[in-house]
């Protein structure tokens, strides 16, 4: 839908509404046709566009990297092989510098997170009206958000996955008693048994808050940056309907923001990957 066929408020709401499948107020299941219907579907509603684009981009990542790995040569590498090798070496160096334990899962996990999040973020560089216009004319979707990392459901899903891995390896490496001790016996310590017992609830509160804050900050940081970036692109797109002069200014502004946004989408993928490596290192480190 074009900004010229609706008000500015309607245009912004349209682009910030997910294609949602869920249970309607009358009990039947189906797609939401308005933003109000999408909100009424509640917790169990599925954001179809987020699921579709994230799975498609993940499959694209697996396809090309698998293809390059199968066709890799020991001689002079082609452009695609050279590019993939550069990414793998970059991620491997990051793992070596931040992870002190021994776990063959960490490097592939870091590679998957970095490339997958980068691809999802990269969708933000597409014109905001392009894919919604195509799907709208094909009658496929009423709404369409093509940036999965602009959906907190996606960012929280990835962060919770990392968090569960962190808990699993914390218990596996340190044992249940070691993990519980880590939550209750630091940062305040005492040799006196009475003081030690008094410090346990204080330590647990501080460490539990710190533990729970990890997936929350991990997900909200990515979501917040991508949401802000998408909002700026939407606001710039509105300038194209405000006359030739503002349209020309908006086009220049869009180009500048897109170039700057390349740094943001790369940095956010790198930060998510680096924090994942650090959290996994903490799970493997015994205090």
Instruction: Taking residues 171-176, report their average pLDDT.
Output: 91
Total tally of structural domains belonging to the chain: 1
pTM reported for the whole predicted model: 0.89
Look at residues 53, 276, 265, 71 and name the one whose alpha carbon lies nearest to residue 162. 276
What is the model's pLDDT at position 141? 67
Is 221 a catalytic site residue? yes
pLDDT in tens, 223-238: 999 999 999 998 888 8
Q: Is the pLDDT of residue 140 over 80?
A: no
For residue 86, being part of any structural domain is answered with yes
Rounded-to-integer distance, Cα 49 and Cα 44, Å: 15
What is the model's pLDDT at position 1? 47
Given 23, 103, 153, 221, the catalytic residue: 221
Rounded-to-integer distance, Cα 142 and Cα 38, Å: 11
pLDDT in tens, 12-33: 888 888 889 998 888 889 888 8
For residue 208, being part of any structural domain is answered with yes
DSSP annotation string for 139-207: TS-S-----GGGSHHHHHHHHHHHHHHHHHHHHHHHHHHHHHHHHHS-SS--SSHHHHHHHHHHHHHHH
Given 54, 98, 203, 225, the catalytic residue: 225
Radius of gyration, alpha carbons of the chain: 23
For residue 189, being part of any structural domain is answered with yes
For residue 35, being part of any structural domain is answered with no
For residue 36, being part of any structural domain is answered with no
Distances (CA, A) of 228 to 77, 116, 147, 150, 235: 39, 20, 12, 9, 11
Cβ contact 164:66 at 8 Å: no
Given 217, 219, 252, 285, the catalytic residue: 217
For residue 33, being part of any structural domain is answered with no
What is the model's pLDDT at position 144? 84
Cβ contact 149:222 at 8 Å: yes
For residue 155, being part of any structural domain is answered with yes
Cβ contact 225:257 at 8 Å: no
Least confident of 110-124, 134-148, 172-186, 273-287: 134-148
Q: Which domain does 165 fall in, by range?
A: 50-140+148-284
Mean pLDDT of the chain: 88
For residue 3, being part of any structural domain is answered with no
Is 192 a catalytic site residue? no
Q: Could you tell me what percent of the chain has a pLDDT over 70?
A: 97
Is 92 a catalytic site residue? no
pLDDT in tens, 236-279: 888 887 778 878 888 888 888 889 999 999 999 999 999 999 99
Instruction: Taking residues 181-196, report their average pLDDT.
Output: 83
């Amino acid at each position: 839908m074009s900004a010229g066929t609706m008000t500015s408020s309607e245009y912004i709401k349209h682009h910030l509404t997910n294609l949602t499948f869920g249970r309607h107020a009358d009990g039947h299941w189906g797609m939401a046709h308005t933003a109000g219907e999408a909100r009424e579907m509640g917790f169990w509603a599925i954001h179809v566009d987020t699921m579709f684009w994230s799975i498609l981009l993940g499959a694209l990542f697996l396809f090309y990297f698998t293809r390059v790995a199968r066709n890799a040569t020991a001689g002079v590498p082609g452009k695609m092989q050279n590019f993939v090798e550069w990414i793998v070496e970059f991620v491997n160096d990051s793992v070596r510098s931040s992870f002190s334990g021994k776990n063959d899962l960490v490097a592939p996990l870091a590679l998957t997170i970095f490339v997958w999040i980068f691809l999802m973020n990269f969708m933000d560089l597409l014109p905001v009206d392009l894919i919604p216009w195509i799907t709208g004319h094909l009658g496929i979707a009423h709404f369409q958000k093509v940036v999965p990392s602009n959906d907190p459901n996606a960012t929280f899903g990835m962060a919770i996955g990392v968090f569960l891995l962190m808990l699993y390896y914390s218990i596996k490496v340190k044992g249940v008693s070691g993990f519980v001790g880590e939550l209750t016996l630091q940062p305040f310590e005492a040799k006196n048994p009475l003081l030690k017992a008094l410090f346990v609830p204080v330590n647990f509160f501080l460490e539990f808050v710190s533990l729970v804050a990890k997936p929350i900050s991990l997900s909200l940081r990515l979501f917040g940056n991508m949401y802000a970036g998408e909002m700026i692109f939407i606001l710039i797109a509105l300038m194209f309907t405000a006359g030739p002069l503002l349209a020309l200014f908006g086009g220049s502004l869009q180009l500048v923001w897109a170039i700057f946004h390349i740094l943001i989408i790369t940095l956010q993928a790198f930060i998510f990957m680096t924090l994942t490596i650090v959290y996994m290192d903490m799970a493997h480190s015994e205090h």
